């Protein structure tokens, strides 16, 4: 059941990203998604298997839940959040997508813990939210770099 819910959320978020108007180009979305995915795979492996701070499920369906969360949802949420941040004009408006992003991370982690995709023997939700916040910050910095590096050279590419 947990895997079904998570896959449905994945489908919904991907559909929103693909169909809704967005400020990020295709290249920017892909760049942010892949780099955050790379970082998150390393971070989750180190926290889970090297340091033992996160206990990852040993059952196939819940392990797949963890894989979907780690590999799709975690990199996708900052991309969606940045799209919304770029639409917002005032500081107050910009706080809403950030708050929404943290609430979404909190909700999805609660769902994963509820279905025992992973548990926190030596970690907690606050630390996870700090990690999620760091990903958002990294995504903002990466986007700035990408636009700085390629704005002049490749204007008009999709």
Site for another protein in 71-110 (CB under 8 A): 71, 87
> Site map for another protein, 21-60, x if CB under 8 A?
xxxxxxx--xx--xx-xx--xx--xx--xxx----xxx-x
Helix 91-114 and helix 74-87: axis angle, to 10°?
A: 160
d(CA 100, CA 82): 12
Of 76, 55, 97, 70, nearest in space to 13 by CA: 76
Which residues, including other chains, have CB under 8 Å from residue 43's CB and lie 6 or more apart? 131
DSSP label at residue 152: T
Q: How far is the CB of 117 from another protein (least distance, A)?
A: 11
Q: How far is the CB of 21 from another protein (least distance, A)?
A: 4
Q: How far is the CB of 158 from another protein (least distance, A)?
A: 5
> Which residues form the interface with another protein (CB under 8 A)?
18, 21-27, 30-31, 34-35, 37-38, 41-42, 45-46, 49-51, 56-58, 60, 63, 67, 71, 87, 146, 149-150, 153-154, 157-158
């Amino acid at each position: 059941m947990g895997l079904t819910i998570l896959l449905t959320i994945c489908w919904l978020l991907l559909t929103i990203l693909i169909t809704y108007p967005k400020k990020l180009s295709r290249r920017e979305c892909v760049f942010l998604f892949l780099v955050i995915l790379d970082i998150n795979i390393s971070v989750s492996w180190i926290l889970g298997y090297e340091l033992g701070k996160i206990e990852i499920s040993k059952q196939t369906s819940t392990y797949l839940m963890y894989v979907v969360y780690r590999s799709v949802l975690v990199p996708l949420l900052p991309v969606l959040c940045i799209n919304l941040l770029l639409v917002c004009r005032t500081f107050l408006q910009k706080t809403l997508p950030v708050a929404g992003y943290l609430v979404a991370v909190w909700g999805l982690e609660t769902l994963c813990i509820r279905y025992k995709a992973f548990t926190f023997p030596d970690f907690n939700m606050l630390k996870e939210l700090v990690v999620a916040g760091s990903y958002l910050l990294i995504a903002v910095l990466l986007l700035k770099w990408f636009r700085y590096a390629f704005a002049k050279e490749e204007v008009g590419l999709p």
